[in-house]
Structure 1
Amino acid sequence: MAWGPDNVRKWSTLALLAIMGTALTVATDSPGFVALISQKGLDFACQQGMVVLQEELQTISVPDFSGVFKIKHLGKGSYEFYSMVVNGFHIPNPEMKLQPTDSLQLSIKEASIKISGKWKTKKNFFKASGNFDLSVEGVSIFADLTMGSDPTGHITITCSNCDSHIDSVSIKISGSMLGWLIRLFHRKIETSLKNIIYKKICKIVRNSVSSKLQPYVKTLPVISRADDVTSIDYSPVAPIITTNQFLKGELKGQFFWRGHRGPYPIEPPEMKFVPSNDYMVCMGISDYFFNTAVFAYQESGTLRITLGSRLDTRFHLNTDFLKGFLPKVAKMFPSMGVQLLISAPSPPHLSIQPSGLSFNPKLETQAFVVLPNSSLIPLFLLGMKTNASLEVDAEDNRLIGEMKLGRLLLELKQSNFGSFKVKFLEDIINYLIPTVVLPKINERLRRGFPLPLPAGIQIINFVFNSYQNFLLLEADLHRT
């Protein structure tokens, strides 16, 4: 299956890099969720980030400056350059490269700056003024972005090193017949302007990273709310891994019930895969991720569904239908309501194979008579077995799913009013579970569970593939 702003949001693709290859913490767990970004994704992130950086660089403020000159036979005079504004900062070919030091290097070459302003000069009682245009050519910027984490597990990004270079500066004077005075010492003026701009460039780059990118990185989820019951722990479990092709991050990928967070008796499986360079990102989602969801909902009591006497307009669950196999109950409690409590005595284990996602849940149904005062009389306990499959998709940056069930096989585990053959109940149970219970489960699965993505980024053109013990989601990115 496949699908195809503000300044802070334009940094969001760079923020995605941080979660893909996240913080420098000591590895203590195996990952339940692995994410990688390819050079294609890195290129996309760089282009998006340059939109903001270019806007920031165009805000370079060039202060007024003045000086004195001395010309042989003419004596001393003064000059002043003022009202200078940047008309454009052109960045032709920005690049973002992976570094073996677990960082990213931003490189900009052959950029150019256009500046205009006013000038005036004075020599004794002679005065002159006019306009000027300044061209700054061959601007190079090299900046290292180092990723780490704070004590809460949130990603940090800092500009650990920045260097810039300017090849040449040229000035064009206009507006006065005495402009030749300025031209006599234009090299001194060009050098002064070059030094001013040189000092400003890296300061702006550092400020942009700290004031725009770093706050946005805070939107990357460490703990992501799944619903009213559970959350997902997307905290890093290992240092960043870099290759010449990919940036790799290993995340916990664990659901937990917010009422109580305890350890689970399962471990994440090893995930080995070779991602495709055709997509910007890929995410390995292990069966551990899904099974911790089952544990969390089991622990919270969510995996318990109660069916009352009135299920729909066609069927009423009461003691009358028990006459055929439990006549004693029908006689003792005539036309009274029956309640079914459906639960899983132990968390079902989901398995991911190349053929898809499947599991064999073992369920129980406890039946009660509902007395007029609402008290319950236990009737019997049924064990139920079935096979099930889960189809996984994605929508609005959330994993969604649909469960399908096979026929349920029943076993009488306990009866307070005598033994009976469960075949009398098989048809009714196989009607109730698919038509009443399963839609409730699929309604929740359609609401989905959030993927670890920053605000302002959406996955598109995505595909799923199943492997042994994990799913692989490959996708491109889009800035919303």
Structure 2
Amino acid sequence: MATCHVALAASVLAICMVLTRATNPGFVARITVKGLDYARQEGIAALQKELAKLKLPDFSGSFKVKVLGKVHYTFYSLNLRSFQLPSSQIAPIPNVGLKVSIDKAFAQLTGKWRVKKRFLWLYNLFHKKIESSFRRTMEGKVCGAVTSSVTTKLQPYLQTLPVTARIDKVAGIDYSLAAPPVATAQSLDVNLKGEFFSLAHRSAVPFVPPTLAFPVDHDRMVYFAASSYFFNTGGFVYHTAGVLLFEITDAMIPKEFKFHLNTSTFSAFIPQLEKMYPDKLMKLRIKTSSAPFLTIAPGNLSLTPVFDIQAYVILPNSSLVPVFLLSVTSSVSAKIMVTSARIGGTLELGRLQLSLKHSDVGPFSVQLLQALMNFYGSSILIPHINARLREGFPLPLPARVQLSNLVIQPRQNFLLFGADVRYM
């Protein structure tokens, strides 16, 4: 069978996305030639299955033969035994889009045919008189099926690309286009807004995405660049919503630990606390005083969060009595983890720096509390936060696509990770 071409503009990727104003992206997805070739293989395999179900129409016609005159023929009860598409290509066309071509197709058919005038030599006329007409009919049917498959299968599948991804009751991620997709000779780049937003009240963040110097790596099928802006909009949204608040109670401290959360433990550092509230349990309420800001540099990810620790004494009637308020800063190192479909991470707490903002139990030296607060932070607070961070956030992937063979590299102002793709 002859060539059947299907041209797909890169803008087809935008059919399920809302085009926003052009700006630096917070998140970039790159599909390399290797990735496009994998997409071609999966697409052709799916197309072959669709074509195998193709219902072929009866085919009839006539031609003139000297002496005999008009010869009428009919093909009927036609079935495709097999269908192969051995030569196909998806190629990025710089500044244009994607070109998909299927250059050859081979089919094996079974069926019946008849002619109104039978002589044995009529069968030899098939190649000269009938084959070309039959081929054109079949090509039209197949190319129509290819076009229909793109319309009914590919476009709905592309609509599974997330425009927004809900994270929880507080926030979602905007993965809409920041600019039209860009095709080069080596890849197709899709620039996404890559921004967390509040589900309750969406408002602009007070900073802009940095420029990303995307490298020219092409070993993996896909690459993603997650800007520091992407992560920091998350911190801003959660802080603004007032949900970056954690409480530590004595029930959260393993029984074998020495430093339980009560006035007896604190008596070594604040003697007057034990005198005022002897043998009482305590609670620590930790809340960010400003949005945490992630800094990404080659080989390093770090935060310098600023938060307050309000300490309470728990009275027998369960009411809380505030006793002191600390302002705390710390250096925190971060590690990013990418799974088959999500991006998450973990934090490691550095040494805390304390200052006393207010005391209801008189003056005391906060330096004496340094080791105790480091213990509570590293043993109780950070594991609690990391449990949530490990759950991660969804990546902008279409349905049934998973990542493998991952590589992660911190670059200036963005995190680069590459992967191969598996269609499940």
Q: Aligned to 1:206, which of 147, 163, 169?
A: 147
Q: Hey, what's the Cα distance between the residues in 2 that align with 1:69 and 1:415?
A: 105
Describe the SS at the equivalent of 2:351: coil
Give the AA of the match of 1:312.
P
Aligned to 2:370: 426
How far 1:221 sits from its partner (Å)?
Answer: 0.7
8 A Cα contact 1:24 1:239, kept in partner? no
| CA drift at 1:279 | 1.6
From 215, 230, 234, the equivalent of 2:171 is 230
Residues 1:404 and 2:398 aligned together: no
Hey, what's the Cα distance between the residues in 2 that align with 1:280 and 1:383?
47
- Deviations 1:142-175 (Å, cap 9, x if unpaired)? xxxxxxxxxxxxxxxxxxxxxxxxxxxxxxxxxx
Q: Write the letter of the residue equivalent to 2:208.
A: E
Partner of 1:452: 396
Counterpart Cα distance in 2 of 1:437 and 1:19: 42
> For 1:330, which of 264, 270, 274 is the aligned residue?
274
How far has the Cα of 1:76 moved from its partner?
Answer: 6.2
TM-score (norm 2): 0.89
Using the TM superposition, give the Cα deviation of residue 286 of structure 1 relative to its aligned residue in structure 2, in angstroms. 0.7
CA contact (8 A) 2:165 2:394 kept: yes
Instruction: Work out whether 1:475 is the aligned partner of 2:419.
Output: yes
How far apart in 1 are the matches of 2:227 and 2:394? 15
The alpha-carbon deviation at position 452 of structure 1 amounts to 0.9
More divergent stretch after superposition (401-410 vs 59-68): 59-68
Name the SS for the 2:86 alignment partner.
coil
Q: CA deviation at 1:360?
A: 1.3
- Is this contact kept in 2: 1:36–1:283, CA < 8 A? yes
SS of corresponding position for 1:302: coil
Distance 1:20 1:218 in 2: 9
Q: Which amino acid aligns with 2:364?
A: F
For the residue of structure 2 that corresponds to 1:89, the secondary structure is: strand
The correspondence for 1:462, drawn from 397, 406, 409, is 406
Distance of aligned partners of 1:337 and 1:183 in 2 relative to their CA distance in 1, 3 Å threshold: same
Cα offset, 1:71, TM superposition: 5.4
Name the residue aligned to 1:92. Answer: 86
Matches of 1:17 and 1:400, distance apart in 2: 30
Structure 1: gaps of 5 or more residues: 1-13, 129-177
Name the SS for the 2:116 alignment partner: strand
Q: Which residue among 290, 298, 305 is the counterpart of 2:239?
A: 298
| Aligned position for 2:5 | none
Distance 2:352 2:306 in 1: 10
Task: Describe the shift of the 1:270–1:438 C-alpha distance in structure 2 as closer, same or farther (beyond 3 A).
Answer: same
Query: Are the counterparts in 1 of residues 402 and 423 from structure 2 also a CA contact under 8 Å?
Result: yes
Q: Structure 2: how far apart are the matches of 1:29 and 1:76? A: 69
The amino acid of 1:358's aligned partner reads S
Could you tell me which residue of structure 1 aligns to residue 138 of structure 2? Answer: 197
1:185 Cα offset (Å): 6.3
Deviation, structure 1 residue 209: 0.6
> Shift in Å at residue 207 of structure 1?
0.5
* Alignment of structure 1 residues 129-144 onto 2, 5 Å: none
Deviation, 1:393, is 1.9
Q: What SS does the aligned partner of 2:365 have?
A: coil
Cα separation, partners in 2 of 1:379 and 1:327, compared to 1, 3 Å = same
In structure 1, C-alpha distance between the alignment counterparts of 2:48 and 2:196, rounded to whole Å: 40
**Alpha-carbon deviation of 1:440?**
0.5
CA 91–345 in structure 1, closer or farther in 2 if over 3 Å, else same? same
The alpha-carbon distance between structure 1 residues 55 and 323, as it changes in their structure 2 partners (threshold 3 A), is: closer
Given the superposition, is the C-alpha separation of residues 76 and 105 from structure 1 closer, same or farther in structure 2, using an over 3 Å criterion?
closer
User: Equivalent pairs: percent with the same residue?
Assistant: 43
Cα distance in 2 between the residues matched to 1:403 and 1:442: 6
The CA distance in 2 between the partners of 1:267 and 1:71, in whole Å, is 78
Question: Retained in 1: the 8 A contact 2:71–2:116?
Answer: yes
Task: Show CA shifts across 1:297-328 (max 9, x none).
Answer: 21233311111243331343222234345444
Report the counterpart of residue 441 of structure 1 in structure 2: 385
User: Among residues 196, 217, 222, which one is paired with 1:281 in the alignment?
Assistant: 222
Q: Distance in 2 between matches of 1:200 and 1:214?
A: 20
Q: Please state how far the C-alpha of 1:186 moved relative to its aligned partner.
A: 5.5
> Taking structure 1 as reference, are residues 277 and 70 closer, same or farther at Cα in structure 2, changes over 3 Å only?
closer
Give, as a single letter, the amino acid of the residue that structure 2 aligns with 1:81.
F
1:53 to partner: Cα distance: 1.7
Q: What secondary structure sits across from 2:383 in the alignment?
A: helix
Question: Which residue in the other structure is 1:42 paired with?
Answer: 36
Distance 1:66 1:21 in 2: 41
| Alignment-mate amino acid for residue 412 of structure 2 | Q
- Supply the distance in 2 between the matched residues of 1:22 and 1:81 (Cα, whole angstroms): 43
Which shows bigger deviation, 190-199 or 414-423? 190-199
What CA RMSD, in Å, does the superposition of the two structures yield over aligned residues?
A: 2.6
The structure-2 alpha-carbon separation of the partners of 1:68 and 1:271, relative to structure 1 and needing over 3 Å to count, comes to closer
Task: Specify the code of the residue in structure 2 equivalent to 1:106.
Answer: V
Q: Is 1:242 the counterpart of 2:183 in the alignment?
A: yes
Question: Quick one: distance in 2 between partners of 1:217 and 1:248?
Answer: 16
Maintained 8 Å contact 1:383/1:413: yes
For residues 122-201 of structure 1, the aligned pairs below 5 Å read 122-123=116-117, 178-184=119-125, 187-201=128-142
Bigger CA drift: 445-454 or 105-114? 105-114
Q: For residue 451 of structure 1, what is the amino acid of its counterpart?
A: L
Instruction: Output the CA distance in 1 between the equivalents of 2:69 and 2:412.
Output: 86
1:191 Cα deviation (Å)?
Answer: 3.3
Question: Could you list the per-position Cα deviations for residues 310-350 of structure 1 after superposition, in whole angstroms to 9, with x for gaps in the alignment?
Answer: 33313432222343454443233222221111111001211
Instruction: Quote the offset at 1:439 in angstroms.
Output: 0.4
Q: Could you say what secondary structure the match of 1:283 adopts?
A: strand
User: Aligned pair 1:25/2:13, yes or no?
Assistant: no
* 2:357 matched residue in structure 1: 413
CA contact (8 A) 2:98 2:183 kept: no
Aligned CA distance change for structure 1 residues 469 and 264 (closer, same or farther; 3 Å): same
The counterpart of 1:376, out of the listed 320, 327, 346, is 320
Distance 1:308 1:186, change over 3 A: closer
* Aligned counterpart, 2:98: 104
How far is the alpha carbon of 1:49 from its aligned partner? Answer: 0.7
> How far is 1:213 from its partner?
0.7
Normalising by structure 1, report the TM-score. Answer: 0.80
Match of 2:262 in 1: 318
Contact 2:11/2:181 (CA < 8 Å) preserved in 1?
Answer: no
Aligned to 1:360: 304
Distance 2:45 2:11 in 1: 17
Query: Would you say the 8 A contact 1:22–1:239 is kept in 2?
Result: no
Alignment CA distance shift 1:45-1:330 (3 Å): same
